[in-house]
């Protein structure tokens, strides 16, 4: 019987996802999975002033660095590295084996991650904004 594909409001599919996801993940990964995901935020504070932030997304034993931002006038003083270090501590606590980040290939951000002991793992050609992106990684365990 043919089905009609319709666009739905955000959240409408969640009840379906909740009931179908366990089996779908087992089929996808070929082992039983209990999916759990979290976001963790970090702030670099100079007294009352926030001078930098980082956000990681933790799921499936991976911690993806979603954001690292340091105020322009405070860059080059180790704040970004300190944010990544705190993020790695939390990722370790949640048993992540690996940190990841996606950055424009050969960019300043890639150099920053390399200086923070991340390695280039793959290049995704013509990815975000059609730019080549470098998948960076650091193993934790
Ligand atoms: C990338 C960013 C977070 C770095 O923050 P920061 O506080 O200046 O970084 P740190 O001072 O901790 O630098 C850590 C290391 O990276 C290097 N580094 C930082 N920025 C660099 C750059 N633009 N080019 C080359 N190396 C850089 C530093 O020299 C340092 O290495 P070293 O100590 O071995 O000499 C900051 O420049 C920023 O907010 N950029 C805009 C947003 C962005 O691109 N975020 C990253 C991807 S999400």
pLDDT beyond 80 at 107: yes
Q: What is the dihedral of CA 92, 75, 53, 128, to 10 degrees?
A: -90
Neighbouring-strand partners of residue 134 = 103, 123
Spatial distance between the Cα atoms of 11 and 26, rounded to a whole number of angstroms: 23
DSSP annotation string for 123-139:
EETT-GGG--EEEEEEE
Looking at domain 38-139, which CATH architecture does it have? Answer: 3-Layer(aba) Sandwich (3.40)
| Per-residue confidence (pLDDT) for residue 141, from 0 to 100 | 77
Q: Which of 56, 64, 75 most suits a substitution to test ligand 1, by most atoms within 8 Å of the C-beta?
A: 75
Mean local confidence (pLDDT), 108-112: 98
What tokens were used for 54? 């980082």
Is ligand 1 within 6 A of the CB of residue 109?
yes
Is ligand 1 within 6 A of the CB of residue 56?
no
Neighbouring-strand partners of residue 41 = 55
Is ligand 1 within 6 A of the CB of residue 60?
no
pLDDT beyond 80 at 2: yes
DSSP annotation string for 4-46:
------TTTTHHHHHHHHHHHHHHHHSS-----EEEEEEEEEE
Which long-range contacts link 26-34 to residues 24+ away (Cβ below 8 Å)? 33/60
What tokens were used for 82? 């300190």
What tokens were used for 110? 């890639």
* pLDDT-above-70 percentage for the chain: 100
Q: How far is the CA of 35 from the centre of ligand 1 (A)?
A: 33
Mean local confidence (pLDDT), 12-36: 95
Spatial distance between the Cα atoms of 65 and 102, rounded to a whole number of angstroms: 8
Residue recorded with tokens 């990722």: 91
| Confidence band, pLDDT 50/70/90 cuts, at residue 87 | very high
Mean local confidence (pLDDT), 75-89: 98
């Amino acid at each position: 019987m043919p089905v009609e594909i319709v666009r739905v409001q955000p959240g409408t599919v969640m009840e379906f996802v909740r009931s179908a996801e366990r089996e779908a993940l087992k089929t996808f990964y070929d082992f039983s999975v209990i999916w759990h995901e979290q976001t963790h935020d970090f702030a670099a504070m100079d007294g009352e002033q926030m001078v930098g932030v980082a956000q990681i997304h933790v799921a499936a034993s991976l911690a993806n660095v979603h954001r690292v931002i340091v105020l322009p006038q405070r860059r080059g003083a180790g704040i970004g590295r300190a944010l990544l270090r705190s993020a790695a501590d939390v990722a370790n606590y949640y048993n992540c084996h690996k940190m990841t980040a996606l950055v424009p290939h050969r960019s300043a951000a890639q150099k920053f991650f390399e200086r923070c002991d991340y390695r280039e793992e793959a290049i995704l050609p013509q990815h975000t904004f059609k730019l080549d992106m470098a998948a960076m990684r650091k193993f934790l365990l």
